[in-house]
Chains A and B, each alone.
Chain A
Amino acid sequence: MNKTVLAAIAVIVAMLGATYLAVGTAGGIGGDGGLVNKLAVLGAVVLVIVTTFVVTKYVRQMQNDTASGKLADENWDGIGEYKNELPFGWAVIFLGSIVWAIWYFLAGYPVNSYSQIGEYNKEVTVHDVKFNEQYKNMDDETLKEMGGSIFIVQCAPCHGLQADGLGGKAADLHERISAESVKHVLMNGSSNNLLGTSMPMPDRNGLLNTNTNALITDAEIDAVSKYVAGGLKATEGADVFAGACAACHGADGKGMEMVAPNIAEMSPAMIDMVLNHGKKGAMGTMPAFTNLTEVQHKAVDAYVSSLSKK
């Protein structure tokens, strides 16, 4: 036995000893460490022995081997090169990498390449499928709940978390319409864009009160504004409503399709129109919310129309 082998054995013993000192019986040599610890220690032992064996082999080869083979004609400052055959494994890897490069160039990259937008589209698709599956058959409670959470994100910045319009900054959604808004519409008319018709509601100069056969007066506007805002329940203003408004909005105020909107109560159809087209009224302009999906629209419709029914 020469010095190298002795040194190798010494290294193995030292490293295994150090492992034992560090791990002790907890490592599982004693038995209570469990299977994973036993495997880990076994792995460490194998690693030490194999490493030492391989290193020893190459050190001895460097010590004992003599050069053989045919030298190339050219030499570089006295350093020559053997004309050995390419090792078989290298040749296989070399050819393999050429094949792989062709595949990657033609199919691998173009077909499988990463794209942020691709990842985004996938994320959206996965979500949509899951969403549609989960909310296929919603009952009214779930719909309202969903509408409530959409409301907090999309609507609350203007209408407030309580949907009270933040003191007149936006419509108070607990009532169908405020007296101020009714008055604004009566004074200025309405484009009726929401209904999708080009026939606008006239301003006060086109509003005839059939009871008096004259244009609507300031006092009548005030009275009917309060009447409509109060939910068409009071007695005061009822006659003006019947005379000037009922022809289009109906005697009960529930409107007519393509002619006049429902002004008696919050209806899902009306809310949906506002969401789709936005609105310009007495308090300001509301943008359209076309970014929401159909289900989300339905949810908001359900939630908002439930507010005024409490």
Chain B
Amino acid sequence: MFHWLEKNPFFFAVAVFVVIAFAGLVEILPNFAQASRPIVGAKPYSTLELTGRLVYIKNSCNACHSQLIRPFKSETDRYGHYSTSGEYAYDRPFLWGSKRTGPDLMRVGNYRTTDWHENHMRNPAEVVPGSIMPAYTWMFTNVADVDTAYAEQLTIQKLFGVPYNAELPMADGSKATVALADTLDGARASALEEAKLIAADMKDQGVKDAVAAGQVPEIVALIAYLNRLK
């Protein structure tokens, strides 16, 4: 066999590739699969949070904001614990971002709250002097796309086995469950329930009225998502 391979450079090259590829699979893949498992405390996104994530992506927030804290003291002092791969297990796609025009948002839920986001999204420079972030005023009136978020939830549950309606271990030893409704109407209702909690902490009367009327403005969904980033 080897003598035959020696005389056939093409098949020799193929054999070399197969051997190295096999070694790579055996060495790299198990480790990779292990590291990308959800860490204890990771939860899939609820309907409203996922709606907010879609708003985040739609407005290209990830073009200016990263979601990846590197293990340097200067970063962990400012943003919190460095990121680990298991934290992105339910991010499809992950939103690491490649450039920080604005600050990292990986754990923004730890140090900003609903009312701050409300003030900031309406006029960033008013809260952060010198900020070059544009105002996102339309988010206060645009209605968020809850239906697409629900479709995505169903898809990832069926396709990737994302554990909705299942007990998940939390870091403090308790269990948490992220509910996924059986029907579209159920999903809309649960998103609205979450939205009411956010809107209660907001000042904008238009947003409060919209939520009371059964709509979910984009800003509410986005804040739900940002508060969830921890």
Give A contacts to B, CB under 8 Å. Answer: 116-117, 119-120, 123-124, 127, 153-154, 157-158, 161, 166, 169-170, 283-287, 289, 291
Contact = CB atoms under 8 A, between A and B. Distances in A.
A224 to B, nearest CB: 25
Q: How many of chain B's residues touch chain A, expressed as a range?
A: 20 to 34
Interface of B: 71-73, 76, 78, 80, 82, 110-116, 119, 126-129, 201
B73 A169 contact: no
A119 B113 contact: no
Given A285-B114, A285-B115, A287-B110, A158 B127 contact: yes
Given A124-B73, A284-B113, A287-B113, A166 B126 contact: yes
Contacts of A123: 72-73
A120 B75 CA distance: 11
B69 to A, nearest CB: 11
A119 B73 CA distance: 10
Nearest to A169: B119
B82 A120 contact: yes
Nearest to B113: A285
A161 B128 CA distance: 9
A287 B126 CA distance: 20
A125 B207 CA distance: 47
A283 B72 contact: no
A291 B126 CA distance: 26
Nearest to B82: A120
Given A154-B111, A158-B116, 12 more contacts: A119-B71, A153-B78, A157-B112, A158-B127, A169-B116, A169-B127, A284-B114, A285-B115, A285-B201, A286-B113, A287-B112, A291-B110
Contacts of A166: 119, 126-127
A299 B72 CA distance: 23
Nearest to B129: A161
Contacts of A117: 71, 82
B197 to A, nearest CB: 12
Contacts of A124: 73, 76
Contacts of B128: 157
Nearest to A128: B73
B39 to A, nearest CB: 14
A158 to B, nearest CB: 6
Contacts of A286: 113
B113 A116 contact: no
Nearest to B111: A287
